Amino acid sequence: MNADTLGTEANVQVSYPSLAIRDTVGVRLTGVALRDAPIQTVSTVGTLTFKLPKAWVTENKGRTVTLTYTYKVGGAGSLITSSPLSIHVVGAQGLNVFKVVEAPAGELNADTLGTEANVQVSYPNLAPRDTVGVRLTGVALRDAPIQTVSTVGTLTFKLPKAWVTENKGRTVTLTYTYKVGGAGSLITSSPLSIHVVGAQGLNVFKVVEAPAGELNADTLGTEANVQVSYPNLAPRDTVGVRLTGVALRDAPIQTVSTVGTLTFKLPKAWVTENKGRTVNLTYTYKVGGAGSLITSSPLSIRVIGEVPVGDGQRVANDLNAQYADTRQNCGSASLPAALCSGVILRATINGTGYRAWNPSPLSQQNGGVSFFYLRKDALFKAFPANYPNTSGFVFFPSQQRPTGSMEIPVLCTFPIDGGSDIRADQGCGVSSNYPTVSRSCEQQGITTAEGWLTHYNQGSAGWKYQRQCGFNVRSSQGALAANAFYQGILAMKLMGAESFNSWNEIRLATWPQNIHTTIPIKAFFYTSNGLANARYNQQDFYKYSSKAIPIIKLTLPRTTAESAQFEFIKADQVVGNWN
């Protein structure tokens, strides 16, 4: 370690296999004195960085120091000490330094260079009052301004970018010269050869954050940077980058305006969804933006990071248990059974211009969202015909939703499809086709399943569902809410085959758009041939939330003697790490 060229501090990075939250970790430097960096308590699993002041390094010039790290598991118990790391501390005095900072391997890229190239110079007997210069020999002789040494160390000469650019495709020679004390003979160094290149002529294809082919999704910032160039890259070429992993992800096409290296930014979500997998990157381009699409060889990148293990079978077991739970309320007369039992599910259709888990445009207008309610005593055998490849999502019962997730109120229930799209009051009130008799049940004095069925059967065949009343189960109903919901379930039983051959409807309050991290989704489901849609929903939700929600297969009963079945199948899943 060079004490003279070091900035204000040296950075020591530490991690170890068992590192965990609440561990306390320290670093000790043993040199002319014992120096202990401040203890750190682990808050997030990853790599810790300890900053050692420059003074601790400088006092050990010419010596070899030893570094060790120590830690206590959970901040208590025995102090565990690492094997020592030996570091030799040097100073610029005594070193022979002659290099171009931007060309560590002897190749300087004029196109990616900033405003100047930095040439560093030192020699063993460098002393105050020496005068030192640097010459670049290329298409022309270029001499950097002479410097007079005031402090022993490494000198930096700045060569304007124009001196580099004029030598693209050539090898230039650098020399430094000096006079001891600023007088006497001019001493010239051995030459340093540097090959100047431009992005044109180079083949560049790399992920900046994955120099060794491994990309850590947990430590990545907001995006991964993919750099691309190819030998004949020219203005007006159109260039794109594709990531092939759990899904095909295409970065926006770029049109070349200046010959150089292009950078494509891949959102972190594209990386995170591929944890534990190897993805392939390719770039494509069209010369002048037209003609044949030319595709590069693939670049393989391994995505690493901690992948939580999901228990899909537990979710399926939960849903089967909820289905079998036929309680009348959730602990009191004011808590309807839907808050803790049965399965609240919503069928969705992809490609309608909004995410499957977001309320539809109509629901955003009327304040309510339609769901089905499935329980052993609230059976139906099929979803509506307008869901030919049925898939959708299941909500947690309100009393079982995860901490931090949004509570979405249950508003009302209809024993059979309520035609809520033409009803007022969030889809629970008056139907526009029957403005008098379709009011909420409690407003008409209907409080029992028998009363509801009598009222329902007074309607004309084919239109009864619009004429029916809905049971209001809002919290404002107080001690009437649980019984109102249960009477809706009993009404289904009284209807017999008519109910079983149709479906019920339960209305929930509309939630905000795009609450990807707090919406209380327990599972994505599918029936028969709806798996492709369920997979799309699982993958799409993961993209936005970074949460892997299991796909569950739902088999509806064929007869009233059968039960619905919820089944977790590991092969159905396209994201997540599942038992």
pLDDT tens digits along 400-431 = 999 889 999 999 999 999 999 999 999 999 99
pLDDT beyond 90 at 14: yes
133-154 mean pLDDT: 93
pLDDT tens digits along 429-474 = 999 999 999 999 999 999 999 999 999 999 988 899 999 999 999 9
pLDDT tens digits along 198-225 = 755 568 899 999 999 999 999 999 999 9
DSSP assignment string, 447-512: -SHHHHHHHHHTSPTTTHHHHSPPEE--GGGGGGHHHHHHHHHHHHHHHTHHHHTS--EEEEEPPP
Q: What DSSP state is assigned to residue 516?
A: T
pLDDT beyond 60 at 69: yes
Partner residues linked to 216 by β-bridges = 304
Average pLDDT, the chain: 92
Where are the extended beta strands (E) located within 408-451? 410-414
pLDDT above 70 covers a percentage of the chain that reads 97
Residue 430 in domain: no
The structure tokens 């003279």 sit at 4
Q: What is the pLDDT of residue 201?
A: 57
Is pLDDT larger for residue 4 or for residue 287?
287
Is pLDDT larger for residue 320 or for residue 77?
320
Instruction: Specify whether 537 is located in the same domain as 401.
Output: yes
Give the model's confidence band at 307: pLDDT under 50 very low, under 70 low, under 90 confident, else very high.
low
Residue 19 in domain: yes
pLDDT beyond 90 at 91: no
User: Helix 481-495 crosses helix 449-457 at what angle (to 10 degrees)?
Assistant: 50
Give the model's confidence band at 153: pLDDT under 50 very low, under 70 low, under 90 confident, else very high.
confident
Element (H, E) at 175: strand 171-179
The CATH number of whichever domain residue 162 belongs to comes to: 2.60.40.10
pLDDT tens digits along 327-338 = 999 999 999 999
The residue out of 62, 88, 114 marking a domain boundary is: 88
128-134 mean pLDDT: 95
Instruction: Specify whether 283 is located in the same domain as 372.
Output: no
Instruction: Specify whether 166 is located in the same domain as 216.
Output: no
The domain total for the chain is 4
pLDDT beyond 80 at 350: no
Interatomic CA distance for residues 458 and 464, integer angstroms: 8
156-177 mean pLDDT: 91
Is there a contact between 357 and 541 (Cβ–Cβ < 8 Å)? yes
Q: What is the pLDDT of residue 92?
A: 53
pLDDT beyond 80 at 397: yes
Residue 483 in domain: no
Instruction: Specify whether 328 is located in the same domain as 409.
Output: yes
- Give me the helices (H) in 325-458, please: 361-366, 449-457
Q: Angle 369-374-380 (CA atoms, 0-180°, nearest 5)?
A: 105
Lowest mean pLDDT among 301-315, 371-385, 480-494, 496-510: 301-315
Residue 423 in domain: no
Instruction: Specify whether 514 is located in the same domain as 560.
Output: yes
Q: What is the pLDDT of residue 462?
A: 85
84-106 mean pLDDT: 83
DSSP assignment string, 227-290: EEE-TT--TT-EEEEEEESSSEEEPPPEE-SSSS-EEEEEEHHHHHTTTTSEEEEEEEEEGGG-
Residue 422 in domain: no
Lowest mean pLDDT among 148-152, 317-321, 348-352, 415-419: 348-352
Instruction: Specify whether 215 is located in the same domain as 300.
Output: yes
pLDDT tens digits along 220-257 = 999 999 999 987 788 899 999 999 987 899 999 999 99
Q: What is the pLDDT of residue 372?
A: 97
Instruction: Specify whether 80 is located in the same domain as 63.
Output: yes
Is pLDDT larger for residue 100 or for residue 32?
100
Q: What is the pLDDT of residue 247?
A: 83
Q: What is the pLDDT of residue 308?
A: 66
Instruction: Specify whether 256 is located in the same domain as 278.
Output: yes
Residue 390 in domain: yes
Residue 54 structural domain: 9-88
The CATH number of whichever domain residue 72 belongs to comes to: 2.60.40
Q: What is the pLDDT of residue 90?
A: 74
How many Cβ atoms are within 10 Å of 231's Cβ, its own excluded? 9
List the one residue out of 406, 403, 431, 404 whose CA is nearest residue 417: 431
Instruction: Specify whether 366 is located in the same domain as 399.
Output: yes
Give the model's confidence band at 577: pLDDT under 50 very low, under 70 low, under 90 confident, else very high.
confident
Q: Residue 451: phi, psi to the nearest 5?
A: -65, -40
Is there a contact between 218 and 209 (Cβ–Cβ < 8 Å)? no
Q: What is the pLDDT of residue 352?
A: 58
Q: What is the pLDDT of residue 385?
A: 86
Residue 372 in domain: yes
Interatomic CA distance for residues 268 and 155, integer angstroms: 41
DSSP assignment string, 319-355: HHHHHH---SBSSSTTSBGGGTSSEEEEEE-S-SSS-
Residue 443 in domain: no
Instruction: Specify whether 169 is located in the same domain as 116.
Output: yes
Instruction: Specify whether 383 is located in the same domain as 501.
Output: yes
The residue out of 304, 335, 366 marking a domain boundary is: 304
pLDDT tens digits along 483-539 = 999 999 999 999 999 999 999 999 999 999 999 889 999 999 999 889 999 999 999
Six-digit token string for 205: 């294809």
How many Cβ atoms are within 10 Å of 169's Cβ, its own excluded? 11
The residue out of 269, 287, 304 marking a domain boundary is: 304
Instruction: Specify whether 208 is located in the same domain as 319.
Output: no
Q: What is the pLDDT of residue 199?
A: 56
Indicate if the alpha-carbon torsion angle 229, 233, 234, 240 is positive or negative: negative
pLDDT tens digits along 541-575 = 998 888 899 999 999 999 999 999 999 999 999 98
pLDDT beyond 90 at 61: no
Is there a contact between 468 and 452 (Cβ–Cβ < 8 Å)? yes
